[in-house]
Amino acid sequence: MRILGVDPGLTRCGLGIVDAAGARRVSLVHVSAATSPSTADTPARIGRLADAIERVLDEHRPDAIALERVFAQANVSTVMGTAQISGVVMLLAQRRGLPVTLYTPSEVKAAVTGEGRAGKAQVGYMVAKVLGLTEVPKPADAADALAIAIAHAWRGAAAPVGTGGTTAAQRLWAEAEQAAKRRR
């Protein structure tokens, strides 16, 4: 399965694609960060990012999209930009018939590092390690997009179907989901 992970943002939008095979195996297909100048008006910025996302969708043809869930911050303009780009991603996915799954930052961190409160450096390190890269993808938005794609790949592959039990990764995932709900 080919998964596009998206770390949405109006200034930088991380785009990371992995191919997922069984037994938690993932390989890098593409990583980039689409950008828009903060001096441009918002419609032009959204259009520029939408074009970049469409090019990645057309070139790499993912089977699914994993998108970071928008969460409230003190800076309303940051939340608005993130939400606007998230809406663009959802629209482009819907037009292509692609499923979209949303993940909180804590869910992604727990899936990739085992710790829902891991820092950016730890997430980047694990992304590089999991994908066999010699260095962490830059900027951080690109590494985060890969982490989102990896989290999606691993969420369904954490335990063999029909085992009835849960793995350590699944328990961590459930704990991260509960922690995120408590903070709302």
State the binding site for Mg(2+).
7, 68, 141
H helix intervals, 61-167: 76-96, 105-113, 120-131, 140-155
Q: Is 144 a residue of the active site?
A: no
Distance of alpha carbon 37 from alpha carbon 45, whole angstroms = 7
Binding residues: 7, 68, 141
Q: Is 7 a residue of the active site?
A: yes
Distance of alpha carbon 55 from alpha carbon 48, whole angstroms = 11
Q: Is 19 a residue of the active site?
A: no
The helix (H) or strand (E) run that includes residue 1 is: none
Q: Which of 147, 78, 73, 80 is nearest to 108 (CA)?
A: 147
- The residue with tokens 């954490």 is 158
- Point out the catalytic residue in the list 59, 141, 175, 177: 141
Report whether 137 contacts 12 (CB < 8 A).
no
Report whether 64 contacts 1 (CB < 8 A).
yes
Which pair of tokens denotes residue 2? 């080919």
- Point out the catalytic residue in the list 7, 54, 58, 135: 7
Instruction: Give me the torsion for CA of 68, 62, 99, 151, rounded to 10°.
Output: -40
- Point out the catalytic residue in the list 41, 58, 63, 68: 68
Query: Which residues have a catalytic role annotated?
Result: 7, 68, 141
